[in-house]
Amino acid sequence: MRKEGFQGYSLHNVIMVAFLTSMGALLLFVMLVLVPRVSSLLETNAIDRTKETVLQSVATLDNYVDNLLSSLHFSSALLPSDPTQPENEWQTGLDFMKESRNDILSIAFFGQDGELFYSTAGKLRVPPHEVRESEWFRKAVEWQGTVAYFSRPHVQQLFNGQRTLVISMARSLEYQQEGNWRTGVLLMDVAYGAFSAVTDGVSLGRSGFVYLMDESGELICHPKLQLIHQGLAREDREAALAQTVGITRDEEDGRERVLLITTVEQTRWRVVGVAYIDEILALQNAFIRIITVVSLIAALLSLAAATLMAFWVTRPIRLLESKMRKVEAGDLNVTIEERGFHEIRSVSTTFNHMLRRVRVLMDRVVTEQETKRLHELNALQAQINPHFLYNTLDSIVWMEERGRSQEAITMVLALAKLFRISISKGRRFITVREELEHVRNYLIIQKMRFKDKFSYHLEVDEDALEERTVKLIVQPLVENCINHAIDEAQGMELHIEIRVSVTPEDLLFTVSDDGVGIREDLLPTLLTTSSGKNGIGLKNVHERIQLTYGAAYGLTIHSVEDQGTTITIRIPRGWEEKP
Amino acid sequence: MKKPLIIGLICLVASAALLIWGFQSPASPSSAPQRQVVLLIENDTGSFLMQLRKGMQEAASALDVRITVEKALPDPLAQVRALAEEGADAALLLLADPKPLLSALEEAKFPVVLIGQTVRGQVCVTGDDRACGEALVSRALALAEPSRVLWLTQDTDPRGLERTDGAIAQLKQKGIAILPWPQSPQTLASYGAVAASTQAITQELANLKSTGSLGPGVSVLGMDTGDSRVADLEDGHVQVMAMDSPYAMGYTAIGLIPSLVAEKLAPSLHLCRITLVDPSTMYLAENVKLVFPLLQ
């Protein structure tokens, strides 16, 4: 038979699966939907914050460079159109400019041929052609105008006594010399430390940092500059060189990095913020770790709850099941505790009630069977009634003594047949033919004994002969008639009419007499009290019939005083005998 | 005990364990034991020591190592006791003759790193002298023909001998002259490029150059002349100078400490790059800390 729904599956397992499935679905939703979204938000947020930090340092550097450019342009504004003239106010101005700021180490103005017009740092120690060949000089002249050239970090060695690590700023300026316009270069050396201070203080996470590099990828400032120069560390600038502004990622020593790149316009330097993904995402990782741990704990607790709940819910059912198995095995004395869920309690109560009814019915059946057997025994006993037997045998002897052998033989034969049918090899059910044979034999014996005291007539519907009936139900009625006839007839012959008929459903035995009848007040008691004088009595027959066929069947007594009595036995046709 | 109750108990215990494990704070770096390293010196060696300490500090900050610098005691046993009392985990030796102290430290099974020299059976950090010798010869050959290149050696300097070893293949191959120091100025002046294997020889050559004993046609290549290096390069007394990086030595030495203390480091030689600097490159940012170590 095809299983429908959950039929056939263990309730315990169904509860477990249902519980775990719903918890699993929830956890799956959290892990697959919620966690990635929140992780993504955390990552974006972390990168945004890192970006802000980098932009702040860029802004600081921008401001600083703007400031320096202002000083450079202001210094250039101080220069006279002809620096070869003896006036030196502009030189004082340059000195003042240099003194006004700690980060400006020297300001110098060079002519077109590399000759020094003035320097705040003193005399030149290299020949003019070396100045002319310097990169800063060439670039400044090349970028004519207000655009300033920013050099890479280097040790300034142009002037006597000065050995400082600087970044040089240079711009070209037009001046007049001997009536000719020429192009000179204003050089301003800024302490390298002033630039590195902008980036050195920036930390992006525990390991992250900011560095500067020029357009060609040469490092300007880097927290590990010396290590890189010594070959003890490296900074892969390829990814950062590929763009002027943007965000990109690379990998270093197995750690993924995010590079935030922007450019300082005035210097064309790239500012690169390096942040390590594992540090940026520390919060995200912590979140994922916490969610994972919480999810695992939730899963374990769900498993525990599912197990315990399934156990707790199904325990009373399993108890119920085990008790039912005991009942199935035949122990009807089982009692189930009526407790637990309402439904279980209800089932337990109903089951206990059912068991009690079964026990009562079984007791009743046992009792009925015992009563039946008792009645049958009684009926049999009646057949072996000593008085009847004694009297019959006595009659046989008397006949024999009188030479009436044939009558004696007839009586002996009738007695033998009477007892044979009474016993019927232990069968409870016999044919109507046999039952009537039994009655005939009885009547033969009694007729020979009581001669004219009574007469009888037997009328049988042929259709009834082969019907089956519980045995020894007609003879007691006939015996009852005969006994009353002998006791109360007062010399008159009693006529007994015995009729057997059938209806579509029933088999009817009618025993009528024309005797004195029965008092009306005694009628109700006839089927309820045993009549000791009259053998097993009408009660015995009536109860046996009802025990066998049910309460709808049995004896019906109709009697009119001084007119007669009719007793009808009604039993069902086609009755299947129970083994 | 019923199976469901056992399962439930196991789940509860596992949950509790997960709760404790999952929410415990990650071990902070400061909770790991800090290592202490003592640098033993003979005297303050100026810029070399300064750069060495900077390199050591750079590595120490990442590895959570604390560094102290002390003058070495004359009595090795007393030194060993002092180290033990301080709770030092390892010692770095910057000594001209470390052997007496080494024996005592070895006996006490004390982890040691030697700086600036090579001793068999020890963990040593020093300049790559063999590569330096090779590079010097190559530069000399760029300045003069092989027949006019001279290599000067000095038996008393182990590092100098190592440089000579490094240069020997090229020296032999190119037929370059190899002479012991000292040599007369006349001899030296006949060469186009004279390469010195030691600082002492280089200093002498620079002096000869400055006094004009070696003509302008003789290029001098050699080792770092120390405090006079800038003047020697700028004034043309030395054309090419090979420079150790004490910063790299210090950084490398501290990097070895965790393995050394964990007894996972066998005797080994760790070489640091030696850089060749000339007047055109001496002012570049990458050489600043070599040529101008005191420059901030």
CA A559 to chain centre: 77
Residue B158, preceding peptide bond in cis (omega within 30° of 0)? no
Distances (CA, A) of A37 to A30, A42, A45: 10, 9, 12
Does B77 share its domain with B136? no
Residue B198: give the domain boundaries.
129-243
Identity of the amino acid at A426: G
For residue A233, what is the nearest residue in chain B, using CA coordinates? B248
Contact call for A307 and B11, based on CB within 8 A: yes
Indicate which CATH number applies to the domain containing B228.
3.40.50.2300
In a domain, B138, yes or no: yes
Q: Mean pLDDT: which of A44-58, A357-371, B213-227 is highest? A: B213-227
- At residue A534, the pLDDT reads 46
Average pLDDT along chain A: 86
* Lookup result for tokens 């965000």: A247
How many angstroms away from the CA of A138 is the closest CA of chain B?
17
Q: Where are the alpha helices (DSSP H) in B23-75?
A: 46-63
- At residue B264, the pLDDT reads 82
Structural domain tally of chain B? 2
The verdict on B62 touching A (C-beta cutoff 8 Å) is no
Chain B interface disruption, residue of A105, A155, A295, most B CBs within 10 A = A155
CA A180 to chain centre: 98
**Res. A540: pLDDT tops 60:** yes
Compute and round to an integer the Cα radius of gyration of chain B.
Answer: 26
For residue B2, what is the nearest residue in chain A, using CA coordinates? A311
Contact call for A157 and B296, based on CB within 8 A: no
Chain A interface disruption, residue of B2, B7, B11, most A CBs within 10 A = B11
Contact call for A152 and B4, based on CB within 8 A: no
- Residues in chain A whose beta carbon is closer than 8 A to a beta carbon of chain B? 152-157, 163-165, 193, 219, 224-227, 229-232, 289-290, 292-294, 296-297, 300-301, 303-305, 307-308, 310-311
B window 275-294, beta carbon within 8 A of A:
282-289, 291-292
Contact call for A290 and B295, based on CB within 8 A: no
Pick from A155, A225, A303: CB nearest B295: A155
- At residue A489, the pLDDT reads 57
For residue B285, what is the nearest residue in chain A, using CA coordinates? A154
Note the pLDDT tens digit of each residue in A472-507: 899 999 988 888 767 765 667 789 999 999 999 999
Chain A interface disruption, residue of B3, B18, B275, most A CBs within 10 A = B18
- At residue A535, the pLDDT reads 42
- Residue B152 near residue B196 (C-beta atoms within 8 A): yes
Sign of CA dihedral A19, A25, A29, A31: positive
| DSSP class per residue in A489-556 | -TTPPEEEEEEEEE-SSEEEEEEEE-SS---GGGHHHHTTS--GGGTTHHHHHHHHHHHHH-TT-EEE
- At residue B296, the pLDDT reads 67
**Res. A340: pLDDT tops 80:** no
Residue B20: CB atoms within 10 A of its CB come to 9
* Lookup result for tokens 């000759």: A115
Does B214 share its domain with B147? yes
How many angstroms away from the CA of B41 is the closest CA of chain A?
24
In a domain, B283, yes or no: no
**Res. A529: pLDDT tops 90:** no
Closest C-alpha to A471, from A369, A576, A375: A375
Coil/strand/helix, residue B160: helix
Q: Phi then psi for A514, rounded to 5 degrees? A: -110, 40
Note the pLDDT tens digit of each residue in A66-107: 999 999 989 988 888 888 877 778 888 889 999 999 999 999
Contact call for A163 and B251, based on CB within 8 A: no
Pick from B2, B19, B285: CB nearest A154: B285
How many angstroms away from the CA of B75 is the closest CA of chain A?
36
Closest C-alpha to B118, from B131, B91, B138, B99: B99
Does B136 share its domain with B206? yes
- At residue A382, the pLDDT reads 62
For residue B11, what is the nearest residue in chain A, using CA coordinates? A300
Considering only CB atoms, which chain B residues are within 8 Å of A293?
18-19, 21-23
* Lookup result for tokens 């053998």: A535
- Residue B272 near residue B85 (C-beta atoms within 8 A): no
Considering only CB atoms, which chain A residues are within 8 Å of B12?
300-301, 304
The domain ranges of chain A are 11-312, 316-378, 383-572
Note the pLDDT tens digit of each residue in A222-254: 988 999 998 898 888 888 888 888 888 888 888
Residue A25: CB atoms within 10 A of its CB come to 10
Contact call for A230 and B11, based on CB within 8 A: no
- At residue A199, the pLDDT reads 84
pLDDT by residue for chain B (296 residues), tens only, comes to: 578 888 888 888 888 888 888 777 655 544 556 889 999 998 876 889 999 999 999 999 888 899 999 999 999 999 999 999 989 999 999 998 888 899 899 888 889 999 998 998 899 999 999 999 999 999 999 999 999 999 999 888 889 999 999 988 888 888 888 999 999 988 999 999 999 999 999 999 999 999 988 888 899 999 999 889 999 999 999 999 999 999 999 999 999 999 998 888 889 999 999 999 999 999 988 999 999 988 86
**Res. A353: pLDDT tops 80:** yes
Does B115 share its domain with B84? yes
| DSSP class per residue in A60-114 | HHHHHHHHHHHHHHHHHHHS-S-TTSS--HHHHHHHHHHHT-SSEEEEEEE-TTS
How many angstroms away from the CA of A262 is the closest CA of chain B?
23
**Res. A215: pLDDT tops 80:** yes
- At residue A5, the pLDDT reads 64
| DSSP class per residue in A405-449 | HHHHHHHHHHHHHHHHHHHGGG-SEEEHHHHHHHHHHHHHHHHHH
Cα dihedral angle (A192, A195, A200, A205), rounded to 10 degrees? Answer: -150
The verdict on B126 touching A (C-beta cutoff 8 Å) is no
Note the pLDDT tens digit of each residue in A458-473: 999 999 999 999 988 9
What's the longest Cα–Cα distance across chain B? 106
The verdict on B227 touching A (C-beta cutoff 8 Å) is no
* Interior/surface letters B258-274, b for 16+ CB within 10 angstroms, e for the rest: bebbeeebeeeebbbbb
Contact call for A297 and B248, based on CB within 8 A: no
What are the helix and strand counts (H, E) for chain B? 11, 12
Contact call for A230 and B234, based on CB within 8 A: no
In a domain, B30, yes or no: no
Q: Phi then psi for B275, rounded to 5 degrees? A: -105, 135
Cα dihedral angle (A432, A434, A440, A443), rounded to 10 degrees? Answer: -90
- Residue B283 near residue B139 (C-beta atoms within 8 A): no
In a domain, B18, yes or no: no
Which CATH superfamily includes the segment(s) A383-572?
Histidine kinase-like ATPase, C-terminal domain (3.30.565.10)
Q: Which region holds residue B176: left if phi is over 0, alpha if psi is between -120 and 50, else beta?
A: beta
Contact call for B14 and A300, based on CB within 8 A: yes
- At residue A4, the pLDDT reads 61
For residue B24, what is the nearest residue in chain A, using CA coordinates? A290
Residue A579: which pLDDT band, with cuts at 50, 70 and 90? low
DSSP-derived pairing of the beta strands A104-110 and A180-191: antiparallel
CA angle A365, A368, A373 (to 5 degrees): 125
- At residue A341, the pLDDT reads 79
Which CATH superfamily includes the segment(s) A11-312?
PAS domain (3.30.450.20)
Coil/strand/helix, residue A266: coil
Question: What predicted TM-score, i.e. pTM, was given to this entire model?
Answer: 0.66
Does B135 share its domain with B123? no
Does B230 share its domain with B136? yes
Contact call for A301 and B12, based on CB within 8 A: yes
B window 153-182, beta carbon within 8 A of A:
none
For residue A152, what is the nearest residue in chain B, using CA coordinates? B285
Contact call for A300 and B4, based on CB within 8 A: no
Considering only CB atoms, which chain A residues are within 8 Å of B248?
227, 230-232
Does B251 share its domain with B123? yes
- Comparing A206 with A220, the larger pLDDT belongs to A220
Closest C-alpha to B201, from B257, B230, B251, B163: B163
Mean pLDDT, rounded, for A403-411: 92
> Which DSSP helix (H) or strand (E) runs through B38?
strand B35-41
Coil/strand/helix, residue B243: strand
- At residue A379, the pLDDT reads 67
Contact call for A231 and B248, based on CB within 8 A: yes
